Amino acid sequence: MEIFWEYLKVFAVGGALCVIGQLLIDKTNLTPGRILVSFVTAGVLLSAVGLYKPLADFAGAGASVPLTGFGHSLAEGVREGVREKGLLGAFTGGITQTAGGIAAAVIIGYACALLAKPKEKT
């Protein structure tokens, strides 16, 4: 029964983040690209003020998989990079922290492009 509650937390938080994104798409004139950037920036800002880590600890993948989780990872990487390398770490820490996720996205995207048969929209 404990695993059920864990899945429920993940689903509820991840779903709430998706609902916010869908409402932004439906109710505003924001483009999907601007919404994407807003979510990443929100993750960075919430991480900077110390609010995202407790959410990520509570919700697990429900908070770490969406775009806000990517922003949180960037912020944590910068924080760690600055602690280890000083000012240079501010520029390299975020990329180092998120390199695995970025590499996976590129590789999976490339594999899908090889397997798919793209068609022009008409």
Contact (CB, 8 A) for 21 and 35? yes
Our count of domains for the chain comes to 1
Q: Is 108 within a domain?
A: yes
Q: Is 24 within a domain?
A: yes
Residues 6+ apart with CB under 8 A from 85: 92, 93
Q: Is 120 within a domain?
A: no
- The model's pLDDT over 85-105, given as tens digits with 9 standing for 90+, comes to 999 989 999 989 999 888 998
Cα 42 from Cα 38, distance rounded (Å): 6
Supply the range of the domain harboring residue 58: 2-115
- The model's pLDDT over 11-20, given as tens digits with 9 standing for 90+, comes to 999 999 999 9
Q: Is 30 within a domain?
A: yes
Among candidates 35, 114, 23, 29, which has minimal Cα distance to 71? Answer: 35
- The model's pLDDT over 53-79, given as tens digits with 9 standing for 90+, comes to 999 999 988 888 888 999 999 999 999
Cα 56 from Cα 10, distance rounded (Å): 10
pTM: 0.79
* Per-residue confidence (pLDDT) for residue 80, from 0 to 100: 93
Cα 81 from Cα 3, distance rounded (Å): 35
Q: Is 29 within a domain?
A: yes
Q: What is the DSSP string of 11-62?
A: HHHHHHHHHHHHHHHHHS---HHHHHHHHHHHHHHHHHTT-HHHHHHHHTHH
Q: Is 121 within a domain?
A: no
